[in-house]
């Protein structure tokens, strides 16, 4: 697969995941406002981790449409991904409605949480290195991969784990 094709595929996957999140919401017996904080956090993470890679992919496609394609296209994409990820982390961390004490998580929840944190930290570090040194496609695509993987995990959690409070 060529680097110019990969953002299109990633955008399609991101839109599909967001759509599946909407389907899960529709088939739940309660409205979103009646969900537990844990379930609302899961939905927020699913939607955010679907929208962010979509925006990354669209940004990459936008830069690839410039004629001639800039030599530093992947450096710009990684810079954009880094800034977006930092804003994403700040938004999720500083909103008191989205905070969930770690002692409320079950062991599998902690394992998944720390696994995603390690992936996300690695993805952000790759963006910094790619912006500063490499200017390659694969680190930028790794950021898309990290967000899509986190969205898939949230989607599976919403499907497989009973809603909190039931």
In Å, what is the CA distance from 150 to each residue of 70, 81, 118, 138, 157? 30, 16, 11, 18, 11
Nearest Cα to 51, choosing from 160, 156, 147, 153?
Answer: 147
- Count the residues in the chain: 166
SS3 assignment, position 103: helix
> Residue 53: which pLDDT band, with cuts at 50, 70 and 90?
very high
Contact 42, 13 (CB under 8 A): no
Asked if residue 130 lies in contact with residue 74, where contact means CB atoms within 8 angstroms, the answer is: yes
Mean pLDDT over 153-160 rounds to 89
Q: pLDDT tens across 78-133, in order?
A: 999 999 999 988 888 776 555 566 566 666 677 888 999 999 999 999 999 999 99
């Amino acid at each position: 697969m060529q680097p110019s094709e990969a953002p299109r595929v990633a955008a399609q996957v991101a839109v599909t995941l967001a759509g599946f999140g909407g389907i899960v919401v529709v088939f739940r017996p309660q409205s979103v406002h009646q969900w537990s904080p844990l379930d609302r956090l899961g939905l927020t993470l699913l939607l955010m981790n679907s929208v962010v890679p979509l925006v990354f992919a669209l940004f990459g496609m936008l830069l690839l449409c410039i004629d001639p394609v800039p030599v530093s296209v992947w450096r710009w994409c990684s810079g954009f991904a880094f800034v977006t990820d930092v804003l994403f982390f700040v938004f999720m961390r500083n909103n008191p409605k989205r905070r969930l004490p770690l002692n409320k998580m079950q062991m599998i929840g902690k394992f998944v949480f720390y696994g995603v944190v390690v992936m996300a930290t690695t993805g952000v570090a790759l963006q910094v290195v790619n912006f500063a040194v490499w200017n390659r496609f694969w680190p930028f695509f790794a950021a898309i991969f990290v967000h899509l993987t986190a969205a898939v995990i949230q989607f599976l959690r919403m499907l497989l784990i009973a809603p909190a409070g039931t």
